């Protein structure tokens, strides 16, 4: 049985006070409700240590992660943050290959593979993002694109390492656009991805692999998306910045 993961990708939003308030509200929500799914947030990495201290002090089970890490171990890479540093401030997860990073920072499959290796080396669970662009979908190339994104990156990992990876399917045309994949489209792609995992690593690994959906998930569509058999959770952008909406999405997953 795969445990649902509801994850909030805050992207480059919220100043210190806003972020502290939102995280404190999440800790409170978790303390006051019986939540039987995993919940994690990916704030800007400057907030991670404080969140770690806060959740430790309150015995909270909330997960925290960074939105990216360097492909390098350490050294003269101005502006970058190493996976070892992210692990050392108490994070458990790391997003790798978000489409905004692929697009605005020209992240290649090669560097993404290195990032995953760095993350795993320091005990972080990579949430590896994949997804096709609008033109790929219009040309019915979505399965080809996803196959390629996985085949040249995480499918090079050993079975043991791959088992620590969470996949996030995020169709680029659905991110921040208000356009969501229909539950049928999401299920079709998730089932396709699980099939790829099965061909590469076998049935047991595929059955355990968590595949999250991301792209304009909100309270009004979360229940239907999350009830698809191969959708194991959500990676939520905009709606994760509101405690009310994020709480409703968490509620829809139970
Ligand atoms: P939105 O939920 O704002 O579409 O963002 C999705 C996303 O990119 C999560 O990583």
Q: Cα 141–227–152 angle (5° rounding)?
A: 35
pLDDT single digits (tens) 161-219: 999 999 999 999 999 888 889 999 999 999 999 999 999 999 999 999 999 999 999 99
208 dihedral zone (left: phi>0; alpha: psi -120 to 50; beta): alpha
pLDDT single digits (tens) 48-77: 999 999 999 999 999 999 999 999 999 999
Instruction: Please report where in the chains the tokens 């979908």 appear, as a residue.
Output: 137
Of 138, 141, 220, 127, nearest to 170 by C-alpha is 127
For the residues 17-35, what does the mean pLDDT come to? 95
Check the CA dihedral 98-100-105-108 and report its sign: positive
Structural domains in the chain (count): 1
pLDDT single digits (tens) 99-120: 999 999 999 999 999 999 999 9
Is residue 214 within 6 Å of ligand 1 at its C-beta?
Answer: yes
Check the CA dihedral 80-84-89-90 and report its sign: positive
| pLDDT grade for 31, boundaries at 50, 70 and 90 | very high
| Dist. CA 192 → ligand 1 center (Å) | 21
The predicted pLDDT at position 34 comes to 86
| pLDDT grade for 87, boundaries at 50, 70 and 90 | very high
Percent with pLDDT over 90 in the chain: 95
Is residue 233 within 6 Å of ligand 1 at its C-beta?
Answer: no
Q: Is 170 noted as a catalytic residue in this protein?
A: yes
The predicted pLDDT at position 1 comes to 83
Contact 115, 154 (CB under 8 A): no
For the residues 136-142, what does the mean pLDDT come to? 96
Task: Look at residue 135 and tell me whether its pLDDT is greater than 80.
Answer: yes
Q: What is the DSSP string of 78-130?
A: TT---HHHHHHTT--EEEE--HHHHHHS---HHHHHHHHHHHHHTTPEEEEEE
Contact 231, 187 (CB under 8 A): yes
Residue 115: give the domain boundaries.
5-252
| pLDDT grade for 33, boundaries at 50, 70 and 90 | confident
The predicted pLDDT at position 83 comes to 98
Question: Which residue's alpha carbon is nearest to atom 1 within ligand 1?
Answer: 237
Task: Identify the active-site residue in 98, 100, 107, 245.
Answer: 98
The predicted pLDDT at position 167 comes to 98
Contact 194, 130 (CB under 8 A): no
| Dist. CA 202 → ligand 1 center (Å) | 30
For the residues 134-145, what does the mean pLDDT come to? 96
Say which CATH number the domain at 104 has.
Answer: 3.20.20.70
The predicted pLDDT at position 178 comes to 84
Q: Is 98 noted as a catalytic residue in this protein?
A: yes
188 dihedral zone (left: phi>0; alpha: psi -120 to 50; beta): alpha
- For residue 98, give Cα distances in angstroms to 35, 66, 104, 132: 27, 12, 10, 12
Is residue 176 within 6 Å of ligand 1 at its C-beta?
Answer: yes
Contact 19, 43 (CB under 8 A): yes
């Amino acid at each position: 049985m795969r445990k649902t993961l509801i994850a909030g990708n805050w992207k480059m939003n919220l100043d210190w006070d806003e972020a502290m308030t939102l995280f404190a509200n999440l800790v409170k929500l978790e303390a006051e409700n019986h939540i039987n799914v995993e919940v994690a947030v990916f704030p800007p990495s400057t907030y991670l240590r404080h969140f770690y201290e806060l959740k430790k002090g309150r015995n909270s089970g909330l997960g925290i992660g960074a939105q990216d890490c360097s492909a390098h171990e350490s050294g003269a890479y101005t502006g970058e943050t190493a996976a070892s540093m992210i692990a050392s401030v108490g994070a458990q997860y790391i997003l790798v290959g978000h489409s905004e990073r692929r697009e605005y920072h020209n992240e290649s499959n090669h560097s993404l593979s290195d990032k995953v290796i760095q993350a795993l080396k320091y005990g972080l669970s990579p949430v590896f993002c994949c997804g096709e662009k609008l033109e790929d979908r219009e040309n019915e190339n979505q399965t080809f694109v996803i196959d390629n994104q996985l085949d040249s990156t995480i499918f090079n990992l050993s079975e043991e390492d791959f088992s620590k990876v969470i996949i996030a399917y995020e169709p680029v045309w659905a991110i921040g656009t208000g356009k969501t994949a229909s539950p049928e489209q999401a299920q079709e792609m998730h089932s396709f991805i699980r099939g790829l995992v099965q061909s590469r690593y076998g049935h047991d690994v595929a059955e355990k692999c968590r595949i999250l959906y991301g792209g304009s998930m909100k309270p009004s569509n979360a229940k239907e998306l999350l009830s698809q058999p191969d959708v194991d959770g959500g990676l939520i952008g905009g709606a994760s910045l509101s405690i009310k909406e994020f709480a409703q999405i968490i509620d829809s997953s139970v």
